Amino acid sequence: MIIYAQDVAVKFPWRKERSRTLRRTLMQMLNGRTPSQKQWFWALRGVSFSLNEGEVLGVIGRNGSGKTTLLRTIAGIYSPDEGAICVQGTVSTLLSLGAGFQPALSGLENIYINGVLMGFSEREIDEVVEKIVEFAELEQFIDSPVKTYSSGMIARLGFAIAVHLRRDIMLIDEVLGVGDVKFRQKSQEKIREMMTEGRTVVLVSHNMESIRQFATQALWLDRGLVRAQGTPDEVIQQYLNPQ
């Protein structure tokens, strides 16, 4: 088993005020008011599943149902507040494209910074850097600062980095809509290629077709709870026709 989750729950503080400030905290203390009792919002509750090597888990659910939280928990960005999650192997994420870019630096420099942050060595990045640039179709612009890029170019570069610097487990969060039609086709092909390579993948998507096509098992999240779990066809059937 490569990913094993047992009753995973993740909570967030339910915030009423816009942001906490020292001034507000001091005022509350001076007025003898204890900071109001913290309320929690459970983004995930009692989620259990296990995934073997080479399997693809498709996660479906409405907006705000906890899909992204689940991916971030698998990636180790959040730690579960209850339950346990065990991930064997290294994880790479396709969560949000170009999040770590430094606008003032060139595309090439950003490839290296991103790669190093993901835990790759300089030499490993050297090996794929040409492929990344070629895939992102940014040959002419790779030495220009990223702040001069269009949003499509940033997304392309982010996607290219994420798919070329890969780890054992891939987490994909509906980034399939990248750039123009042509690039979208190309990126979908790339994802298809990775899935059929026998890589372990967790895929979050609203596209039932791609879940049906790639997933070996599916999970339906509804307000942080698992509504259904099983083969993709069954789960999609229930999701589309809830009683």
102 belongs to the binding site for other proteins (CB under 8 A) = yes
What does the DSSP 8-state code read for residue 103? T
What's the residue count for the chain? 243
Nearest approach in angstroms of CB 88 to other proteins is 15
SS3 1: coil
Binding mask 16-55 for other proteins (x = CB under 8 A): ---xxxxx-x------------------------------
Q: How do strand 56-60 and strand 217-222 relate by DSSP bridges? A: parallel
Nearest approach in angstroms of CB 239 to other proteins is 27
88 belongs to the binding site for other proteins (CB under 8 A) = no
Nearest approach in angstroms of CB 113 to other proteins is 5
Yes or no: say if 94 and 177 are a contact pair by the CB < 8 Å rule. Answer: no
Element (H, E) at 140: none
Q: Interacting stretch for other proteins, rule CB under 8 A, among 112-120, 127-135, 181-189, 210-218?
A: 112-120
104 belongs to the binding site for other proteins (CB under 8 A) = yes
116 belongs to the binding site for other proteins (CB under 8 A) = yes
d(CA 203, CA 129): 25
Nearest approach in angstroms of CB 22 to other proteins is 4
75 belongs to the binding site for other proteins (CB under 8 A) = yes
151 belongs to the binding site for other proteins (CB under 8 A) = no
Yes or no: say if 211 and 195 are a contact pair by the CB < 8 Å rule. Answer: no
Q: Interacting stretch for other proteins, rule CB under 8 A, among 32-40, 44-52, 90-98, 204-212?
A: 90-98
* C-alpha distances out from residue 154 to 99, 100, 112, 133, Å: 9, 11, 15, 12
Element (H, E) at 146: none
105 belongs to the binding site for other proteins (CB under 8 A) = yes
Residue nearer to other proteins on the CB measure, 92 or 217? 92
Yes or no: say if 170 and 199 are a contact pair by the CB < 8 Å rule. Answer: yes
12 belongs to the binding site for other proteins (CB under 8 A) = yes
DSSP 33-77: PPPPPP-EEEEEEEEEEEE-TT-EEEEE--TTSSHHHHHHHHTTS
Residue nearer to other proteins on the CB measure, 20 or 192? 20
Instruction: Using CB under 8 A, list all residues that contact other proteins.
Output: 12-13, 19-23, 25, 72, 75-79, 91, 93, 95-96, 99-100, 102, 104-105, 109, 112-113, 116-119
